[in-house]
Amino acid sequence: MHNALDRLWAPWRMAYIKSAKENDEECIFCAKPKQNKDEENLILKRGRKAFIIMNRFPYNNGHVMVSPYRHVASVVDLDDEEGLEVMKLVSLSIRALSEALNPDAFNIGINLGRVAGAGIADHVHIHVVPRWQGDTNFMTVIANTKVMPELLEETYRKLLNAIMKLG
C-alpha cells in the first residue's frame, strides 16, 4: 500500500482558486459577457439569448460550454427562444470543434444541481467536450492527472476561426 502523498505542482490553478473567492456575488456566465473582453474571457460566439464560452479549466482540449445570458438554474426555466438558441449553439460548437480539432466523438451534458456535479449550479450551461480515440493515457489512469496538449489561447483561435467560417 502506497501511503506517500504525491504532489503535482500546478501554479496556474491559483488564479482559479482566487477568482472563485473573489466572484462569489456573480457567476461567470453573468459576469463574463458583460465585460466585452471576449478573447480574454474565451467567449467564442454571442447570440441574442445565449453564448459559447471555452472552459478555462477544461476536462479535455476544446471543452466549451453553451449558456443563456439569463441567470436560470435549469433547462426547464428557459423560454422557447433561449432553449432553441442554446441548442443551435451546441450544434455550432460540435461543427466548429469537428472542423478545428477533428475529434472522434463528443460528450455533451448538463449537470443540474451541485449534487449532480454542477460547479456553477445556479446558471444552467451545457458542456460540449471533444473526445479522441486513446485520449486516456497512463497519466490519467495511473496518476489521475490530465495532460492538456495545447494552450487555451491556441485552441481559442482555432475554434474562433472555425465558428466565423461556419456562421
How far apart are the C-alpha atoms of 48 and 156, rounded to whole Å?
Answer: 21
φ, ψ of residue 150 to 5 degrees: the values are: -145, 145
Catalytic site residue 125?
yes
Q: Which amino acid is at 155?
A: T
Q: Where are the alpha helices (DSSP H) in the chain?
A: 13-22, 28-34, 38-41, 80-101, 138-143, 152-166
Give the pairing type, strands 64-68 and 50-54: antiparallel
Three-class SS state of 92 = helix
Which is catalytic among the residues 63, 123, 125, 127?
125
Round to whole Å and give the CA distance between 60 and 71: 26
- List 126's β-bridge partners, or say none: 66
The residues that are catalytic are 125
